[in-house]
Amino acid sequence: MNILKATPALAVALLSPYAAAQSNVTLYGILDACVVSAHGTSAAGTQANSGCAYGSRFGFRGQEDLGGGLKADFTLESGISLDNGTLAQNGRLFGRKALVGLITPYGQLHMGRDYAPTFYLVRPVDPYKAGIGSATTMVSTSARPDGSGRNDNSIVYTSPRKNGYGIKASYALGEHTATSTTTRDAKGVLFSYESDKLLAGVAYNATTNATGRADDRTATIGASVKTGFFQPAFLFQVGKWEGTRSVAAPSLATSFFSRDYRSAMVGATFAFGPGRGNLIATYKRYDDKTVRNFDADQVTVGHKYQLSKRTELYAVYTRQSNKGAAAYGLMDATNAFAANGAGTAPSAFYLGITHIF
């Protein structure tokens, strides 16, 4: 008997009862690559990078119909770097998302690794979808600082939408020691409205620090128009990172989000229609309210041209102006470029391609 030939057939036979029970499993992903020319940064020059406009990824989604309006489902999503073939999110196998749960007529309940609820407002409203010139550099998505933008150990509830209105709430356990019951716990809620034409919402998040004595807190509001030639969008956030920052260091010159800040994004997509693509422009402002006053603003302008429903080309320019002693760097969907120094204006020009499968 040829074991090499028999093994695949044997595996199918052994797994077939489970495969039959699974109503569907979908493989999906985004592959994004670009050439970027950066100036005024520590990585100035020309680079070939992955995950510029969108984080490159592949994932699996599955769902099983349990009857009576009840379904089990899962999502496993891995970030990848096309330029060198490695895993993103610090080498995690499913670093972008790893969830399992139930879908019921009364809402969805999932457990695993997920974004904070604020992300589900900021990312959809941002005209660049957290890519080049991402709103998330100045408008926090409110995940734990050490989680690559996500929270481990999350318990997430998503309500059904009623007349467009819905709620998403999350509690991410810090898996703390017995000396503190809330160390590193992250709590968040999003109230949103969505229709074919409009998305709007308000979110709140609080993340307890390592000592369990203070929280990083954010309150965010945003909205965007989803149809028509002119599609405006805005975000505004009030933040108080009292858990991460101290009285001695209320803000950092090279890292956004202080003990007291305001940040905002305004932008628009100009949809020219088939064969002409979209022009996208955004302006962001970060206002550090502490005594250090590390402020910055950023302008991003670009064009995305759709070759098909799944493939697009893009050209984007972004420039950030650091005020006073601020020395914030640039970020896109995956890559970071440190600024050369205080008061500088780092910039970057991108040419890239995105394919969705």
pLDDT at 178: 59
Q: Which residues pair with 104 in a beta bridge?
A: 107
Give, for 316, the enclosing helix (H) or strand (E).
Answer: strand 311-322
Q: Divide the 357 residues of the chain into consecutive groups of 10 and give the mean pLDDT of each group.
A: 38 43 85 97 89 98 97 98 94 96 98 98 98 96 85 97 98 77 90 98 95 93 97 98 96 97 98 94 98 97 97 98 96 95 97 98
φ, ψ (nearest 5 deg) of residue 238: -110, 125
Tokens (6 digits) for 175: 């898996």
Tokens (6 digits) for 37: 């020319």
pLDDT at 328: 97
Distances in Å between the alpha carbon of 198 and those of 3, 15, 219, 223?
Answer: 58, 44, 20, 7
Q: Is the dihedral of CA 22, 162, 235, 139 positive or negative?
A: negative
Distances in Å between the alpha carbon of 151 and those of 68, 97, 124, 245?
Answer: 32, 9, 19, 20
Categorise residue 297: left if φ over 0, alpha if ψ from -120 to 50, beta otherwise: beta
φ, ψ (nearest 5 deg) of residue 332: -115, -155
**pTM for the model:** 0.91
pLDDT at 23: 67
The Cα angle at residue 211 between residues 208 and 213, in degrees rounded to 5: 60
pLDDT at 146: 73
In angstroms, the CA 161 to CA 87 distance is 35
Tokens (6 digits) for 156: 């997430």
pLDDT at 138: 98
Distances in Å between the alpha carbon of 7 and those of 12, 17, 54, 173?
Answer: 9, 17, 38, 42
Decide: residue 9, CB within 10 A, 0-12 exposed, 13-18 middle, 19+ buried: exposed
pLDDT at 121: 98
Q: Which residues pair with 28 in a beta bridge?
A: 59
CB environment 105-142: b (16+ within 10 A), e (fewer): eeebebebbbbbbbbbbbbbbbbbbbbbbbbbbbbbbb
- The CA-based diameter of the chain, rounded to the nearest angstrom, is 77
Categorise residue 293: left if φ over 0, alpha if ψ from -120 to 50, beta otherwise: left
Residue at token pair 């879908």: 103
List CB contacts of 182: < 8 A, sequence separation 6 or more. 174, 176, 208, 212
pLDDT at 149: 86
The Cα angle at residue 10 between residues 8 and 12, in degrees rounded to 5: 70
